[in-house]
Amino acid sequence: MYLSSLAQGLTPYVAGEQPKNQVFIKLNTNENPYPPSPMAEKVLHESNLSLLRLYPDTDASAFCKSAAEQSGVKPTQIFAGNGSDEVLAFAFAAFFAEEKLFCPDITYSFYPVYSELFRVDYRAVPVREDFSVCVDDLMQGGCVALANPNAPTGLAVPVSELRRLAEYTHSVGKVLLIDEAYAAFNTENAVSLVNEFDNVLITRTMSKSHSLAGLRLGYAIGSETLIDGMNRVKNCFNSYTIDMLGIAVGKAAIDDREYCDNNVRKIVEAREYTEKALRSIGMTVLPSRTNFVFAAYKGLSGAALQAALRSKGFLVRNFQNGARIRDYLRITIGTMEQMEKLAAALEEIIKESV
């Protein structure tokens, strides 16, 4: 066996299916149904490829400056990475390695994976019966990481509760990581906490709200102390995590706020329609603050629902890890037209089942 004992012991993350053809209505990986900003497209077309002979800016300063402006922090409080998954990995290595880390038991499934890779003492804390996160249960003397709004439930903890968690983790000298991959679809975000508490790190992604999942660009917002820690780890791994085109396209996309806000508004409308439509056919739907809904039907298993939708041309996600969520589907919000088709398909599936 050639694998190291560390590698042998890992359980890798499994990403949602990316079909090779486009016959499916793809609602399984929380991508945005709209194209990226036309400004981003323009920047790409006008890029001078002869510059690619040079290495890119290690700090992605042009992008960080724009991200900082938008978040109301200094550029030195932003760390950019190759997707927020990479940003999260660096944060786990920088702040959680060999520490106790408390996370809700239903959360983004990459956290336990990174914990194994970086030798983090991972402690899963059960969420409540209604899947909501109790912040007091996460106050156990260690570091804390949570996605807010949460994945795959779509539920959000109010920022007032996160502030209590920030106060607590600050008082015990540990880092609080808030993964805000879906904050654009919520009614509030926690960015104000980074200037109040130097132990709070927020991560964001350009994948969902800015339609750039294929570009791979995410960032963290935090105190200069935490951002220095992130850079320390990054520069032990790869100094050039974001390429020159990624920096330029990402900057143009984040600067085009109006375009992004408009798409987010359409997605939130389609989400509200979907929640109502699925409830009207008897499904249980958690109140979502994201670009997906988490839904179940008591007469059918999650696997059966997923398979039936697939045969009707829809890809959705189902998680078999954990008895409490096994029968739920995580359905990405697409265009209104796609969601109308999805609701009709689910109605047929449910009728055929009785």
Structure token digits, residue 214: 């294929």
Q: Are 256 and 211 in contact (CB under 8 A)?
A: no
Question: Is residue 84 close enough to count as binding ligand PLP by CB under 6 A?
Answer: yes
The angle subtended at Cα 279 by Cα 275 and Cα 282, nearest 5°, is 155
Task: State in angstroms the smallest separation of the CB of 8 from ligand PLP.
Answer: 26
Please tell me whether residue 113 binds ligand PLP under the rule CB under 6 A. no
Taking CB under 6 A as the criterion, the residue among 83, 112, 246, 334 binding ligand PLP is 83
Closer of 207 and 241 to ligand PLP (Cβ): 207
Which of 90, 102, 108, 168 binds ligand PLP (CB under 6 A)? It is 108
**Closer CB to ligand PLP, 125 or 151, in the complex:** 151
Closer residue to ligand PLP (CB): 141 or 287? 287
**CB of residue 348 to ligand PLP, shortest distance in Å:** 29
Among 120, 147, 200, 315, binds ligand PLP (CB under 6 A): 147
Buried b (16+ CB within 10 A) or exposed e, 193-213: bbbebebbbbbbbbbbbbbbb
* Cα dihedral across residues 184, 185, 188, 191: positive or negative: negative
Is the N-terminal amide bond of 56 cis, ω within 30° of 0?
Answer: no
**Residues in region 9-48 near ligand PLP by CB under 6 A:** 30
Please report the DSSP string for 120-160 in residue order.
-EEEEEPPPTTS---GGGG-SSSEEEEESS-TTT-----HH
Question: Does the protein bind ligand PLP through residue 85 (CB under 6 A)?
Answer: yes
92 makes contact with ligand PLP (CB under 6 A): no
Say whether residue 67 binds ligand PLP (CB under 6 A): no
In this structure, what token pair is assigned to residue 70? 């938008």
Nearer to ligand PLP, 34 or 167 (CB): 34
Q: DSSP H helical segments within 240-327, as ranges?
A: 244-255, 257-280, 302-311
Site for ligand PLP in 166-225 (CB under 6 A): 179, 181, 205, 207, 213, 218
Q: Which stretch binds ligand PLP (CB under 6 A): 38-46, 82-90, 118-126, 279-287?
A: 82-90
Which of 85, 327 has the CB closer to ligand PLP?
85
Helix, strand or coil, per DSSP, at residue 176: strand
What residues contact 264, with CB distance under 8 A and at least 6 apart?
A: 184, 185, 209
Q: How far is the CB of 319 from ligand PLP (least distance, A)?
A: 13
**Residues in contact with ligand PLP by the rule CB under 6 A:** 30, 83-85, 108, 147, 151, 179, 181, 205, 207, 213, 218
